[in-house]
Structure 1
Amino acid sequence: MASSRVRLNTAATEVQRTETSADLDEPVVKEEILPVIDFGLLTEGTPDQRSKAVRELNRACQDWGFFLLVNHGVPEKMREEMMDKFKGFFDLTPGEKGEYANTDVMNPIRHGTGFNTAVDDVRYWRSYLKTCVHPEFHSPTKPPGFRELLREYSTRIRDLGMKLLGGIWESLGLEESYMKEALELDSCYQVVVGNFYPPCPQPELATGLGPHSDHGLLTFLYQNGVDGLEVKHEGRWVRVKPSPNSYIVNIGDHMEIVSNGRYQSVLHRAYLNDRSTRLSIVSVVGASLETVVIPAPPLVSSDRPPAFRGMKYGEFVEYQQSHTLKEKSVLELLRV
């Protein structure tokens, strides 16, 4: 059966809802847009403006788990140059890139295709470069200037993430200093991933990356102007178009654990097209790899007992990266 599509335009962003044959018995939602969070108001606004921004952050995390972050302070020139450097890496010869190809999922620099070719049960139309940039900084030496720019860019994102986490802790009624110590955020685990999705001759028969949630606390997505992100919202897949000068931010599995299920990580996936190359830069900020992450004690009560058991963050990441990508399967292993 042919699919039907409802397309919506807004000043903030654009979302497309794709209807498949499985959706036709469900009501069509007429309007869907990602919430917008103004980072400037959260960090530099008046007390009233900050309070409003925190409330909006609370609603965004509860209702969507995804939001657009505007006025984030990362220069557009830096973001464009970072995108160019990643493109430069993917343009290297197979031999030059091959030095970073390996099977150790916790290697600090890793280049490959798909998700994990050792365990993938499908072949994803994707190449990637994954670099660990904190607590120790790692980077390829090519292309020229990549290392220096990546260091500066990742530092900006980490600072952005810590300030945004401060607003999220406030929205949950948690003390920022307590959470910083509990999650050992001075030694936070941060990775930056470049994704390369070339045009696919038959995009309807392939996928860029299957449905999954992210392992960390927060994920920041910056992409070129090519569509490719679908988010699961209220049981349906919603297509999100890139919006200029913003980040798409989503909460990860460990935010769901820390919040004791109040904020839930959300499934998302990458889809393909037969016309244009899609490039994206994904930055994930999490707890220290040595931290056993548990629901924050202030959010646990007799009425709301712990929803998850604890596990070292590093063990969680290694398990997820070593197994087939499948929705929220690793998080479900910890559910009480």
Structure 2
Amino acid sequence: MPNDSPQPTRRGRQALIIGSLVGVLVLALWTWRSETSRPAAPVRPSQSYSQTLELARDGKPGAARLLYQQLARDDLADERRIALLAELPNYPSPQALKLLKAQLDHESLAVSLAAVESAVRLLPGHHLAVVLGPLLSADEPALRLNATLALTRLSPDELGLYFAALQHSAEAFQHDLAQQPPTVQNRMQLGRLYRQTGDNALALSALEDAVQLAPDNLLAALARIEQLDDNQQADQARQLMRQLLEKHPDSALLQHALGIWLRDHGQAEFALLSLARAAELAADNNDYRYDLAVMLHTLEQLEAAQKQLQQILQNQPANRRARVLLIQYARESGQLQNVQVLLAQLEQQNPDDPALQQGL
């Protein structure tokens, strides 16, 4: 018996097929949009924060790359970011500069302030002015003050176009700090700002206030001595330094300051004695040892200078400043094999180091 149920026509079959295809496409589109609307999972660096920090501090191969990876994260706790910023000056590169600028604009004030400190150690004079200069007009007063104080260490030539802006910022903060109840910190800051604008008498007065507030604060006492020297009161400065040393004969800080003072006054041989004493009293202070190495080199004691720099690298393998200077001294003395070893180690730490790019 023939089947009397209606059979789909050719046009009906086409409509059915098209409808099915449309349904599949709609389902696929909905699935795709659902997937793409989900937030992408953050990319995690291959090494953890703690591992990276350890590698950076120890100057291990690949330290720069891992350090940059961690600083590029957007889920890093502020205290961890601050710790990494402290290591960044040993790993300069265009990428390091880019990351540093991002931290200066960080939503956390503590991170931005740490980035200012990192910039001071990372960048030479003119470059520091270019990076920190825009912060002289920052909305946050603490950030503006820190940038102002950081830039006071630069010469007018290094400041370039930011010289006038720095003077204006210094004058504004002079007024603000002078109105605050005196503390050692704000009087010392006030002294630096007055010195920047050439108000040397006011600078000395502010620093004398700081010393009166804390007679045993050696940093305040040394700042006053430095200002006296700038004010052409060298005899009084020398007398105060002598009194401090009599009271604190085993202070590495004072011995180092005396060495720098003697060096700046053309007494290199006596400066060497004080710098050596400072390095002896504070054997782990690599900055003191570095200054001792430079003084030894000035007095043409090249081998002794190299030994001091080698000791720094033994204490702190990541210390780029000491490594670069040791490469220079080794080259001067014709130790080409040692130069190659030091350069290879530097390249392993940070292949984008400017010293390598410049053919140090």
The interval holding the TM-score normalised by the smaller chain is: under 0.3
TM-score for the superposition, normalised by structure 1: 0.24
> Higher strand share goes to which structure?
1
> Higher helix share goes to which structure?
2
Structure (1 or 2) with the larger CA radius of gyration: 2
Q: Which has the higher contact order (CA 8 A, sep 6+)?
A: 1
TM-score for the superposition, normalised by structure 2: 0.23
